[in-house]
Amino acid sequence: MKKVIILILLAGLFSACSKVNNGNFGQPATSKDKTMLLALTSYYVNGTTGNDTNTGTSAAAALKTIQAALNKTTNGAGSTIFVAGGTYKERLTWPNSGASSTEPITLTNYNSGVVIIDGDNATNTAQNAMIAISSKSHIRIQSVRIANNIRSFASGIYMSGSGTDVQFTDCKLYNIGWTSNASSRPEPKDNANPFVIIGSTANSYNQIYIGSNEVYNCNTGYSEGLTIAGNVENFLIENNTIHDITNIGIDMTGNYAWTGAPANVNFARNGNVKYNKVYRCVSPIATSAGIYVDGAKWINIEGNTCYENSTGISAGCENDNNSTDGINIRSNFIYNNIEAGIIMGSNAANSKVINSTITNNTLFKNYSKTGWGGEIHLQNTDHLTIRNNIIQSASNIVIVASTNYNSTNLVFDYNNYFSASGSSNTVTFDWAGINGTTYGSFAAFKTATGLDTNSNYSTPSFVSVSLPSPNLHLGSTSLCINRGLPSFVAQPGEFDIDKEARVRNGRVDIGADESAY
């Protein structure tokens, strides 16, 4: 698809963000309220006892297939489809929109049953998606599993077009791939998308909530685990677990003609990616990030835990003559990734990542391949601030500014570094992409560049440093406590890695954890 490298929605909380750096973008409420669903027209599905000639309006008169229940919904009216536990071999097409955020069309399980929508020998064989949604609004999909869809361009949930107020919660998507052979090396034609939303028209898809889902064990080829592409705005991706994907985990992208969106709105924007756990997203052919922004704009990436990916978090721009703008990477735990902790900057000659920040993150032993990368790796950027981060490397290399790229208007300060040598005299700042120099000591780097004036070199004193599961919260004796930027003020809705206050005791800490000490 692209180059590698319930629920009540309170619409007022989805207000558009101001397009400024460090903004906190609009987001929906996340609390579930299934009692509201009971006030709507209800349909029941039971794959064992149901019959599609039934009315479906009671459990005793249940329908046999989910598609029959979806077909009974009415466009512009609310309804709920309760599906009894079981395996349903159907490829579904979503036919109608709900009436409003309080009268959506909802597909959910009945009485906590395990509902599996299974692609193995499923109906509607011409359709690649297990659930296909085209330009529908006010819909909910919750507490179902989507599995076993193996074919070229397979997908789990595929939503395209335009619309508003769509929520996906508590779902599991797994074993979706272009091939069942996990060791196969893909070519550009080999793609599968477990979960994809594409804004493909001049009108956006907006007010999107993706929460508490799990996407895993998917062979995606040149595609990603969770993709937001094209004309999509005002979205919240939170509390999901994305793992064991053969490429990028979460991807927000723009400037790709295949979406069909007009160029002036062909980019994901105004979003939050918060408190997700993303791990083991590794491509066999390229550097793949757990969380990746490519050509999108005005997005907060906050409070996530990313480990054992090729790269933890990346913001780039793969299409030339474009920019990725306003990306805030803050308060994340990023550790034990193979090639880099954070990659920031475009790899296209005439594109940049601009007006962005890397703040209050904890990066720990990410450069494990030690051939390329670094804890933070810079490509083409302009107006980038790197502040209040803990950067502890398993090697002596902490920052790499890549050759043949350029970073301008950089701000580095109030960071805390530590490296394998344990000595500030041997920590390495590879500045090849900026002035062709490698600084082999912390003092030399500060003196030559004028950066990191108030930064420190010291052991962060984490609670535990034992891989594969370190505890990167600060111990009581850490020199990172109350050592961040003195004038730091948290943005509205900005918290630390534990969703706690970003500032305690009068001054922000360095790193993702705001200690109580």
Q: Report the alpha-carbon distance of residue 242 to residue 251 in Å, rounded.
A: 11
Cβ-based neighbours of 423, under 8 Å, separated by 6 or more: none
Q: Report the alpha-carbon distance of residue 299 to residue 304 in Å, rounded.
A: 14
Phi, psi of 135 (to 5 degrees): 50, 55
- What was the pLDDT predicted at 371? 65
Q: What pLDDT digit, counting tens, does each position of 45-60 carry?
A: 999 999 999 999 999 9
- Using an 8 Å Cβ cutoff, are 291 and 265 in contact? no
Q: Report the alpha-carbon distance of residue 216 to residue 214 in Å, rounded.
A: 6
Beta-carbon count within 10 A of 35 CB = 8
Phi, psi of 281 (to 5 degrees): -100, 95
- What was the pLDDT predicted at 348? 93
Beta-carbon count within 10 A of 95 CB = 16
Nearest to 362 by CA among 328, 385, 388, 384: 388
Q: What pLDDT digit, counting tens, does each position of 191-206 carry?
A: 999 999 999 999 999 9
Q: What pLDDT digit, counting tens, does each position of 191-246 carry?
A: 999 999 999 999 999 999 999 999 999 999 999 999 999 999 999 999 999 999 99
| pTM of the entire predicted model | 0.93
**What residues of the chain score a pLDDT lower than 50?**
1-38
- What was the pLDDT predicted at 183? 85
Q: Report the alpha-carbon distance of residue 448 to residue 137 in Å, rounded.
A: 55
- What was the pLDDT predicted at 239? 98
Q: Report the alpha-carbon distance of residue 322 to residue 371 in Å, rounded.
A: 29
